[in-house]
Amino acid sequence: MAHSRTLPMEVTWETLKKYHIDEDVGFALPNPLEELPEKYNAWILVAKNLPELIKTGQLREEVEKLPMLSTDDLKEYEEQCLGHLALGCITMAYVWNQADDDVRKVLPRNIAVPYCELSEKLGLPPILVYADCVLANWKRKDPRGPMTYENMDILFSFPGGECSKGFFLVSLLVETAAFSAVKAVPTVLKAVQQQDKETLKNTLLGMADYLRNAQKVFKEIHGHVDPDQFYNVLRKYLSGWKGNPKLPDGLLYEGVWEDPKQFAGGSAGQSSIFQCLDALLGIEQTTGRGPAAEFIKDMRTYMPPAHRDFLYFLESCPSTREFVLSRGDADLKEAYDECVQALVSLRSYHLGIVKTYVLDPAKKQSREEETASGQSEQEHRGTGGTDFMNVLKTVRMKTSQSLLKDR
């Protein structure tokens, strides 16, 4: 039971480094590489020119001409991450090409084999995931400058102009802003273990401030991402082949598997940051068998294994929520609720973003084109292949139900 859990040792940032968490950028990859060893230049060249190659109709031909390369020379973790990102972007572009009905059901072996090799090394599926396009797809323009939108860029993009940059970078900046709250993990765990109510209360209030700041950062998306461009262009390149009527059987990875495989596309659900906050605050999102719980558990398989392990570690620690409940301290309960309420507000804002960038453009398109029923069904499914609005509403509801007011 949760109240009988004990920490094996004092948890510090030194002990948490093994989970591939950086004290400055959190779950993001610190200072991602921009280039691979010379033999892999062909991958990088195609990945950097995806929008132009798609526009001129040359993308698939260029991909099919790529040499079959071994991944043995990609020995460093950062090299493997860049290789996985580049091949992931190439794969999405090859499958969806000009984002019409001309969809490829087979990924050629010259891409499929090295992509699956890298995926196995990294413990990730062979599809573009959040860890690729957000956490590893960024750089500082001035290496000594701050992590601000103005001083940052992305490594690879899709058609849709500046939409890719806006969507990926704002997602990253929200992630790093919210990570300021996660930095409290060692302090929270130690306070619970030592039954230090005052430290825990102050830490929870500080976490609430950081989450409110993350919501302010989230608002920047409106200045950088056009809803129509996102819905009609970028979103299609992030779509996976699980629960997708355009690839009902999945994608065949030539030279790897004999049968097609189904994988979900990139999704904010693959971010470790909010599942981490749920685990730390004792908000049980993965209990039960409902669609939301199943989706959250499934999304963990799309995270880097070290981040997944960190979530399991947090869930094995003494429960912050149970400790606060057991103390019967009104001020402590109020601080806990303020932190949870900040998370509820952030999730409500996310729902509003989804309405603006997915539901509203979908309704507009339906009115204009009298969309066929098959397409209409897909409008309400996210790039992760789920009925995302029901999932997001359930996650927000469970967060809200964790408030301790009147308990």
The reported pTM is 0.92
Residues 6+ apart with CB under 8 A from 8: none
| Dist CA 20 CA 248 (whole Å) | 35
Cross-strand bridge partners of residue 261: 251
- Residue 317: CA count within 13 A, CB half-sphere: 28
Tokens representing 407 are: 């308990």
Would 25 be classed as within a structural domain? yes
Work out the average pLDDT over 387-393. 86
Pick the closest to residue 281 from 210, 355, 207 (CA basis): 207
Query: Is the pLDDT score of 183 beyond 70?
Result: yes
Query: Is the pLDDT score of 379 beyond 70?
Result: no
Would 194 be classed as within a structural domain? yes
Number of domain units in the chain: 1
* Exposed e or buried b per residue across 353-374, where buried means at least 16 C-beta atoms within 10 angstroms of its C-beta: bbebbbbebbeebeeeeebeee
Tell me the CATH number at 371. 1.20.58.480
Would 293 be classed as within a structural domain? yes
Would 188 be classed as within a structural domain? yes
Would 407 be classed as within a structural domain? no
Tens of pLDDT, residue by residue over 227-277, are 999 999 999 999 999 999 999 999 999 999 999 999 999 999 999 999 999
Name which of 49-63, 77-91, 283-297, 319-333 the model is least confident about: 283-297
pLDDT band at 59, cuts 50/70/90? very high
Question: What does the mean pLDDT of the chain come to?
Answer: 92
Would 406 be classed as within a structural domain? no
- Residue 84 marked ligand-binding: no
CA distances from 60 to 64, 104, 157, 205, 294 (A): 6, 10, 17, 52, 35
Name which of 39-48, 163-172, 371-380 the model is least confident about: 371-380
Tokens representing 395 are: 């996650």
In this structure, the dihedral spanned by the alpha carbons of residues 136, 16, 296 and 170, taken in order and rounded to 10 degrees, is -40
Q: CB of 216 within 8 A of CB of 223?
A: no
- Can you give the residue range of the structural domain that contains 328? 2-401
Cross-strand bridge partners of residue 139: 153
pLDDT band at 316, cuts 50/70/90? very high
Work out the average pLDDT over 323-335. 95
Task: Report pLDDT for 9.
Answer: 57
Query: Is the pLDDT score of 186 beyond 50?
Result: yes
Residues 6+ apart with CB under 8 A from 157: 50, 51, 164, 165
| Dist CA 55 CA 98 (whole Å) | 7
Provide the 3-class DSSP secondary structure of residue 12: coil
Would 267 be classed as within a structural domain? yes
